[in-house]
Amino acid sequence: MSTLEGLEYGCPAQLEAVRSADPLRADELCARLRGMNDDADVAALAESLRALLPDPGQIAELSTDECLAAMRDLGMFLGSIKRHGTEPAEAVPESLPVLTELGRRTDMVPRDTVLHYCVWNPEGPRRRMYTGDPQERILQDSVRHAFPRLNTGLRICDELTRTDPAAERFAALARELEESVGAMLESINAVMAEVSPVFFARTLRPYFEEITLRGRTYLGPAAAQVPLWLVDEVLWLSDRGVAEYENFLLDSVPYGLPRWRELHAGWRGRPSVVTRLVEAFDAAGGHDRAGHRLRDGANALAGVLSTIVTFRGRHYRIARQAYQEEVRLYPRGSGGAGVDLLQRVLLLTRQNARVAAERTDQRRRSSRPASPTPTPAERTERRTPGP
């Protein structure tokens, strides 16, 4: 059993434990996967998946970290078989109990997610890839890069929900959160510079199709499973969103880590950070001693939301190119959302950023002495042109 058993998913030691693990001895078959996909050889893919399946006794001996690595490797063959037009559970029905048990052992869905495909994927010659194209590697690395800081950002969000907007700590937390979500911006910049939307839409996207297991569909690895939506939930979505995005969030929750699901359960239905900030300004009435701390908090929160707006704007631009009618093979993203929802979320994030910024301006205006009402003579003088 791994000595890391029980450590929180996502900590550096746990990430390395999963990346280095090869419990199914899948390195060789995963290296040959690209050739099978080039040849669209469904028979070879199914035979390889069947060869990798552990028996129940073997699964019982695996650590949690090894179970995650096993799901990662099986998932590469699930996605490949489906990409070539066959349901993997129909081609290899004996995979069903294995996937179910691995999902139970890891407390995750019974298939691979974006975390298996990107974050828990080894580097170097052991990297699992569908195509071997450098652009696929860049997309994987974009998620690998953003994950640690965004995962930390969720812990910051949890503290932010319990912090008074008038407290000095509030602004500090918001600035820390902006640094965390900034990793998403760095990642999207790399993707925009190095990855063709046409490559994603026509070459890679087909490997992320949903599969059916015992009559239930499970989405493939998707960037939408990276939990920026949880940050949205804390900052504004919990009480200032729209039903379409809230439903998308609920559909995304099962694909997250167990801890993310716990955070969501604790945050759902609570007042958002933006709402609590607005209420704090209203309660202060413009004359309290904590005014400068409220301004600092509003500025810091506006900074976080502005960073997210920039990320979402660039993500929307990429998605619009990849899913335009003459390019796309699928009408919706692998996370289940259409481009129209991305645009709607972008607009909502921008609106909430404006709420925070406007409160700061309002606060400053309310702290200035009011200008005296001009007399009729003064009004006449102001309207009279000068010499």
Q: The tokens of 285 are what?
A: 């009435």
User: Can you give the pLDDT at residue 290?
Assistant: 62
The residue among 161, 171, 163 whose CA lies nearest residue 360 is: 171
Residue 177 has pLDDT above 70, yes or no: yes
Confidence grade of residue 137 (pLDDT, cut at 50, 70, 90): very high
Interval 96-114 mean pLDDT: 97
Q: Convert the pLDDT of each residue in 287-300 to its tens digit.
A: 556 678 899 999 99
Confidence grade of residue 170 (pLDDT, cut at 50, 70, 90): very high
Contact 65, 81 (CB under 8 A): no
**Element (DSSP H or E) covering residue 183:** helix 168-194
The residue among 64, 67, 56, 55 whose CA lies nearest residue 23 is: 67
Average the pLDDT over each of 118-132, 177-191, 311-325, 333-347 and give the range with the smallest value. 333-347
Higher pLDDT: 10 or 335? It is: 10
Strands annotated E in 81-198: none
User: Can you give the pLDDT at residue 265?
Assistant: 93
Read off the pTM.
Answer: 0.88
Amino acid at 18: V
Q: Convert the pLDDT of each residue in 222-245 to its tens digit.
A: 988 999 999 999 999 999 878 889
Q: Which domains does the chain have, with CATH numbers?
A: 12-126 (1.20.58.1320), 134-367 (1.20.58.480)
Q: Residue 281: which residues within 8 A CB-CB, separation 6 or more?
A: 294, 298, 359, 362, 363
280-282-283-288 Cα dihedral, nearest 10 degrees: 90
Confidence grade of residue 360 (pLDDT, cut at 50, 70, 90): confident
